[in-house]
Amino acid sequence: NSFTLINCPISLGLDAFANLTTEIKVYPNPVKSILFVSSKTKINSVSIYNLLGQETITYAVDAGESLIDVSNLSLGIYLVKTTSNDGLKTFKIIKE
């Protein structure tokens, strides 16, 4: 067995992966009381689910930014599902 050089027609630098990053940001993580959701495009809705799949919070949003009060949630891990013009994205957050 010997190695063979293969020419790659595309450069695989950091710029090649720039379009794969999401434009939606969910922060801070871990969160204590207020969760920020922001996007360069319009966010349509934000839903928070516990790990059993039960929906705990749902917000209809019609902006590029939203503040969500999560102070009533129990400590633990949650999934944040966002829908926007960029599509559907899910994030994992920790509630402290």
pLDDT at 8: 62
Its pTM surpasses 0.85: no
- pLDDT bin (cut points 50, 70, 90) of residue 64 is confident
On whether the CB atoms of residues 47 and 71 are closer than 8 A, the answer is no
Tell whether the torsion through CA atoms of 68, 72, 77 and 81 is positive or negative: negative
